[in-house]
Each structure stands twice: as structure tokens, then as C-alpha cells.
Chains A and B, each alone.
Chain A
Amino acid sequence: MIVEADETMPVCSSDDVVRARQAVRARAVAVGFSLVDQTKIITAASEIARNTVDYGGGGTMRLEVLRNGQRRGVRLTFKDQGPGIADISLVMQDGYTTGHGLGLGLSGAKRLVNEFAITSTPGQGTEVILARWK
């Protein structure tokens, strides 16, 4: 697998969430995603970026463009040093929320991408990886 582009940006405020969405959009367009695929990866990025700000206390998004043979894709890695998640299976349930949201962020984002991974250590932070292939 070849990494064609690799950039990291801060995700610390709601303005950063907007900037993260725009960066993902630019890459998704460059990779040649269809309009629906662009919309899905941007929406998933928006959900996870907001979690990074609201629950993780801010963090970073790494944005990579990948090539695997003929396939190209976008991989996003969100990292924070927040309180972490004690029970991941609980937060992956539709409708579960500790905040003011609808509880669709993680579970919804997972449905919008091809690859999804979440790792978290209570007290140390959370990492969420999303990937969508053309």
C-alpha cells in the first residue's frame, strides 16, 4: 500500500471541525470519489471530529491518501488525549450518548465508511480510524 499524501491538522474547536471537513472533501474529490462517497466520508469525518472536540478535549486528524493496486482511498485517523472510553461496545450502540447529541456519531460514522477501528485507553485518550475506498 502506497501513501500518496499525508497531512495532520488540529481538531480543537468547531471551526477546526469545519476545516477538517473541507480538507477531507478536497482529498475525496482529488481521489475521484463519487458525490455520494464524498458526502459519506465528509459526514463520517464531521461526526468523529466533533467527538474529538466535545469528548476528547481536542486532538488531531491525520489525513492520508492511499493506493492499493488500482484502488485509491482516504484514511482518517483522529487522536485525542482525553478521558478515553471505558466501554467501547456501549458507545458503539445507536442512540447511546453521554452528551447532548443523538448518539449516532460513532455507530453512524461506522456505517458510512469501509473500514472502522476504535481504540481507547481510559485516562489516556482515544484513536478512531476511518477509511473509504473508491
Chain B
Amino acid sequence: MSEIPILKIRDCLLVSIQVDMHDRLAMELQDDLTQRIVKDRAHGVMIDISALEIVDSFIGRMLNNIAAMSRVLDAVTVVVGMRPAVAITLVELGLTLTGVRTALNVDKGLAMIRDIIDRGEQDDDRRGG
């Protein structure tokens, strides 16, 4: 189990990353989330990164992987709360986060997940990974 708590709200899992993650912790979170999607029959995963000061290529790859794995397990992933400075840096770094949906905050993220689940629409997700 990683040190990052995974909360369940109805059929969604919510993760708020509040620590400066070392690489092993990022891998553990990826594994834990994948297990929990199946165990809790979740259809949505929301990852709050508002406390993250940086997203480097390793964390970016973790977000990509979580989105890809949850897609295979019939769940939608939305990353919320990215800081503007992080967004600017990510683009310059060359990381595009293809296949990861983003929303400005937790509220909008939940609404987005709800909307996608209700429409039963995952087609848009097939474009990338």
C-alpha cells in the first residue's frame, strides 16, 4: 500500500497527492489505483495534483499509465488542479499527456466524470495512451 490515501465517493475514486513523490511512491500509487478500480467497481478516477510543485516526465508517465489502465478497466480518469507554472513547464518539457483528461478543479472534474459515465461514452478516450 502506498502512503497516498484513495477515497471512494459513490463510483469514483479520489486521490489527492499532497507529498513530494519519490519515484517508488508514484509506482505504488499506480498499482494501488489499478487494484482499487477493480475492487470498488469504480467508473471514475480523479487525481488532484493542485499541491504538486512540479510534474516531471516520470510523474507525467505515471498519469498517462493510470489513464490508460483505467480506460482498459472501463473507468474514466480526470486530472484536476494543475498549477499554471506546472502546465507551462510540462509543455516546454515536451510532455503532452495524451489521453489524460484534465479539469480545472475537483468540482469540474467530478462533473466531467459524471457526464462521461452518464453518456456511457468512452469513445473519445480511444485516441491516445
Contacts and interface: CB of A to CB of B under 8 A. Distances in A.
Contacts, number: 72
B54 interface: yes
Contacts of A4: none
A86 B23 CA distance: 27
Nearest to B26: A14
Contact of A39 (B21, B23, B53, B95): B53
Given A38-B85, A39-B85, A21 B54 contact: yes
A15 B94 contact: no
Contact of B93 (A15, A50, A112): A112
A120 interface: no
A102 B95 CA distance: 9
A18 B95 contact: no
Interface residues of A, number: 27
A108 B22 contact: no
A111 B94 contact: yes
A43 B24 contact: no
How many B residues touch the partner, as a band? Answer: 20 to 34
Interface in A103-125: 104-105, 107-109, 111-112
27 contacts: A14-B24, A15-B22, A18-B21, A21-B20, A21-B54, A22-B20, A36-B88, A39-B85, A39-B86, A40-B88, A43-B93, A46-B58, A47-B56, A50-B58, A94-B94, A101-B58, A101-B61, A102-B57, A107-B94, A108-B57, A108-B92, A108-B93, A108-B94, A109-B93, A111-B93, A111-B94, A112-B93
